Amino acid sequence: MNEYDSGRISDLAKEAGYIQTEKIENIDCYVLNTCHIRDKATEKVYSDIGRLKKNYKNKKKPTVLITGCVAQAENKEMLRREPYIDAVIGPQSYQNLPRILKDIDKKKRKLNFTNFDVIEKFDKINVIKNSNAKVSSFITIQEGCDKFCNFCVVPFTRGPEYSRSPNEIFEEVKTLIYSGAKEITFLGQNVNAYKSSQNGKIFRLSDLIMKLNDFKEIERIRYTTSHPKDMSRDLITCYKHAKKLAPFVHLPVQTGSNKLLKSMNRKHTIEEYKSIIDNLKDLRPEINFSSDFIIGYPGETEDDFQKTIALVKEIKFINSFSFIYSPRPGTTSSKLKMPEKNIQKKRLVELQNILKNIQIDKHKNLQGKNEKILVENKLKNQNRYFGRSENLTPVIFDNGDENDIGKIISVRIQNYNQNSLSGVKNNLEGSVAA
């Protein structure tokens, strides 16, 4: 979602007369878009500003804006701690960027925009065409969270759940298609909690998927991030009927322990989670899964950790994100006692090694087989092409041509590592992924 937000922030800056540059020495305005899921993000803000100050030690200071969740959560403290910052803008307020830039120039004062006016935000950005369309493009359809997991700051930084109207979403879809998009990923903090009414009809994520599946220009559909509690039967059934829906689901579980799930206020059990997995496999046997894991959560025992290991080995996630628990200010779990740091680190290493080996084994099993690859671009200074498999795995291949960009082609896999695959375009007519 941060990538999507950054793109729309860039669009808004262009509206205000700015153009994007990669050269730090040329900037008049520096925008740092932030995430607040882990504690390191906050300190990274100050570190990045430190590097900026060093570059502009003997030059006119650029306008410095901090956007995103860190800005939302720590706005007053940031303005107090770092006078170099000109404005903080929360994730539901960045539609005000053009006005903020003008106000900074006129008023010469620090500005704090951290309201939760999500409706105003989408009313504004819906007027501005998404200029960052790629073969694989993103659309935010839902923001905010009502789940209140005890470790998470999202309800406090993004506000309550809000769903955009289907009309707004598909107007943006059409814009992206016009710019060359062939794959659409629906985004949301709890994307499968999407629910909107239009002309007396209730639209859910499954309805959006089925409608997008009928767009002839679209080759592949994805969505992220899901919550197990909102994996409804209608959404699961999409995997049978929506052939363009990628057979891949990112479904965070966080832990294999029911005791910890209850402590986290996750509102689902391991048994319910595995039932979702089984139902999806029944409809799409080739489907793969990724997940999120928090290691060293307060109260985690060795038995709890071993239950996480057992879950990982059973489901065999093709990719996952795992990290040591990071207490976030204001959350319920931040007041609880954590396992010792050395135990947290030891468990994380053990889990990541298992996840790594599973991923390598899955990639190894693809050697000599054909994979369906959506081609995104040609590599710079090389006669090789880049795309992604149905499982989001990066794939580099030979024997392609520029006509392949934006198409799903068959690539015979020759080599692999943990995070990527490589191979050769399969030029046999009618060849499909094995």
pLDDT level of residue 120 (50, 70, 90 thresholds) = low
How is residue 283 written in tokens? 């409809």
Instruction: Tell me which residue of 133, 127, 225 sits closest to 178, measured CA to CA.
Output: 133
DSSP assignments along 59-119, one per residue: SPPPEEEEEEHHHHHSHHHHHHH-TT--EEE-TT-GGGHHHHHHHHHHH-S-EEE----HH
What letter represents residue 292's amino acid? Answer: D
300-327 mean pLDDT:
96
Extents of the domains making up the chain: 2-117, 120-364, 370-425
CATH topology of domain 370-425: OB fold (Dihydrolipoamide Acetyltransferase, E2P) (2.40.50)
Of 143-147, 263-267, 417-421, least confident by mean pLDDT is: 143-147
CATH topology of domain 2-117: Rossmann fold (3.40.50)
pTM: 0.81
Q: Quick check: helix, strand or coil at residue 8?
A: helix
CATH 3.40.50.1240 fits 120-364, yes or no: no
> What gap in Å lies between CA 35 and CA 332, rounded to an integer?
20
Of 100-104, 128-132, 316-320, 375-379, least confident by mean pLDDT is: 128-132
Q: Where are the alpha helices (DSSP H) in 333-427?
A: 341-364
270-296 mean pLDDT:
98
